[in-house]
Amino acid sequence: MEGTNKLADGSSAAYSTTGDEDMKGVLFSEGQIIFSGPSSGTNTLTVTANNAQGKSAIVSDDYVRFLANASVTASAGSGAGHGVKGNEYVQISDGALSVTTNANMKKGITADDYVLVEGGTTNIKVTGGVAYDSEDSEYTGTAGIKADNYFAMTGGTVTINNEGTGGKGISAGNYSYYSSNSNSLTDSYISGGTLTITTSGSESNDVSSKAIKIGFKQRSGYSYIYAGNLIVSGGATSCTCSKSESVEVKGKLTVSGGSFYAYSTGDDAINSQGEMNITGGYVYGYSSANDAIDTNCDMKISGGYVYAITTKGNPEVALDANTEGGYKLYIYSNATVVAYGGLERGYSSANSVYTLSGTANAWNALYDGSSYIAAFKAPSNYSSFAVTAPSLKSGYKNVTVSSGSQTCNGVWATSGISGGTSVNLSTYNGGNQGGGPGGGWPHSL
């Protein structure tokens, strides 16, 4: 593609079927669609779907790829369809992509298999709400990105803002794909790039809004099937949800690296149905309405830096595993954990857990006797935290952290820490909230 190009239909556009050609969008291909441009000059394409027939802006019955030197804008109005749809997959490797959708149930980017982001800059805005999907016989909401199988990100920048009722930022892994593909889903993963998601819509017809939703829950006889895993090994992810869980994973959640930030004023900040394993990276979960970080199975923190805050109060806790189901919270020797709002009943920690009285709306630090282990930024009006870390000897309040050292949306730091006033630690006497009794320490990884 080269130069400045524009394609659009009208609000009363006629989309008729001719033979095998079904005309699914303004720019439609039975084969692949690949966007790229020469290394110099202006290379832009604007595709606008104004129709009232649910037809999308850009559609391929094969796959859609975005390569270097191309700037593409896809817009779909309130009566139109998706912004970008690939029957096989959508792959964003480079370039600039801007997507806007306004219709109920429709998605910014959607694929029948996977969506992969490798580079480039992608901005998605969704405003449509929930509607009844006669094809699936259920109410359905919108999403910034939807993949029937999995979502993956290895680089680039993606920003999603979904204002619609029941709207998702990213939704990946559904039962239809699972049942049609040997009862399996490919794991969704984030290994690089910068992903920022904001959802603000309320629940409608039992469809709730979430920043990230991976997998599904489906009744099978007298029980349920839960499927869909998320693996985070790198990158910088930031999720904010006003009305529901910010991050929900129906299978297992594993964090081994990167920065993973989740904030919710409506439910849990981070929730997984399956086991949650945190082995590295920087994790932050903040909820003013429920548990900060919650799993229905074991939660195992064996490394990295975990910061959890809940302001809801008993029985909600900062870190909650399903002790009522015989599961437990395990904190291993290499983990650094800061929790406001308590640890669940029956937790096990390889290192001693202390109470640190810090300073609200300031940087507080953990100290091993010779150097700072890490620093965390306390929100306004919060002062006392449960803390544990390798070789932890004392705390420091009102430390200074250089701006270049701040990570995880500016709430964690492991370098660039200086100053402050030493604070003694006291023994943590919590751990009496949350579910029922669990097993004992040690527990295998």
- 3-class SS string, 193-213: CEEEEEECCCCECCECCEEEE
d(CA 152, CA 93): 12
- Pick from 238, 270, 268: which is nearest to 254 by CA? 270
- Predicted TM-score (pTM) above 0.85: yes
State mean pLDDT over 259-269.
Answer: 98
Q: How confident is the model at residue 431 (pLDDT cuts 50, 70, 90)?
A: confident
d(CA 212, CA 245): 9
d(CA 29, CA 24): 9
In the numeric block, which tokens belong to residue 242?
């006003």
In the numeric block, which tokens belong to residue 85?
């749809």
**Contact indicator for 15, 57 with CB cutoff of 8 Å:** no
Name the residue type at position 436. G
DSSP state of 344: B
Strands 394-401 vs 417-418: parallel, antiparallel or unpaired: antiparallel
**Contact indicator for 337, 389 with CB cutoff of 8 Å:** yes
Q: Which residue has the tokens 């049609």?
A: 180
Each domain of the chain, given as residue ranges in start order, spans: 3-352
State mean pLDDT over 435-445.
Answer: 33
State mean pLDDT over 403-410.
Answer: 97
More confident residue, 133 or 443: 133
- Pick from 160, 174, 151, 280: which is nearest to 209 by CA? 160
Q: How confident is the model at residue 65 (pLDDT cuts 50, 70, 90)?
A: very high
In the numeric block, which tokens belong to residue 441?
């320490």
d(CA 342, CA 27): 54
**Contact indicator for 69, 98 with CB cutoff of 8 Å:** no
pLDDT digits (tens, 9 = 90+) for 88-107: 999 999 999 999 999 999 99
The partner residues of 230 in beta bridges, in order of sequence, read 188, 253
3 state SS of 16: coil
> Is a pLDDT exceeding 80 seen at residue 432?
no
